[in-house]
Amino acid sequence: MKTWIFTGICDKSDLLLYMCKILAFGDNRVLLVDGALDAKYKHCIGVMHPKLPIIEFAGFDVATGFQNYSSLRKYLEGRDEKTYDYVIMDVEKSQFLDKNQWDEADAYVWVSGFEVTGLRKSSALLDELRAARIDDPLPPFHRVYVQVIEDLTDEAYIEGYLEESRIEWLGPPVKMPWDELFFALKIKNEHAGRLGIKPLSRQYKRSLTELIRRLSEMEQRHIRRALRQAGRRHA
């Protein structure tokens, strides 16, 4: 089982939902864990049965309503099911994971948008995470920038809030482009309770492929094939 932690205060729900669907169509059993501040995923996926803590959606499972990862683990231990190949976590609360759970993960990704409120909250979250580790530094992070508008967004703006002295980066950031068509697809998916991928731009798909390639052991051709399968009309 591979565990990937995505953190940073911004709306990364679309990114993680698309990623989970691609991984699932790559013949993997995938669990998306909602550790966001406002438990957003039950709204994103249109949960019809809010009392169910784990919901199947678009070929993968989504865990919502757990106060922390320990309570989720306890719940899963009581179920007679196969383990997951990938556990993808959206963590926006410092108390959602303890230090050992952080250290057990296989990859760490810091996701940033360009809104000032989110950047300030992300900076405060980073301080909380570092304070909880005393003299033990945080692990190095991959970087993802979401809602990137070409020629209108400046990377230095983000980096000013997350100084390298506080965190170690692994390679250059992966940039997820944004335009009005992407926003329209987000709204359409949420209202329909589905997860259409085919209308995404080529650049967005390339960025998704690159991110999965960096984090996983999947070959690029296998990622592309899974993306094509996930984009089929009835997928």
Pull the structure tokens for residue 156: 């230095």
Compute the Cα dihedral for 140, 119, 163, 138 and give only its sign. Answer: negative
Structural domains in the chain, CATH included, are 2-230 (3.40.50.300)
- Give pTM, 2 decimals: 0.92
Hey, what's the torsion of the CAs at 14, 15, 17, 18, to 10 degrees? 110
pLDDT of residue 154: 64
Please list the ranges in the chain whose pLDDT falls under 70: 46-51, 81, 151-155, 157, 161, 163-165, 233-235
Query: Residue 50 has what pLDDT?
Result: 58
Q: pLDDT digit string (tens) for 12-44? A: 999 999 999 999 999 999 999 999 988 788 877
Predicted local confidence at residue 48, as pLDDT: 55
Phi, psi (rounded to 5 degrees) for 199: -70, -10
Whether the Cβ atoms of residue 104 and residue 49 lie closer than 8 Å to each other: no
* Predicted pLDDT at 223: 96
pLDDT at position 181 is 81
pLDDT of 153: 59
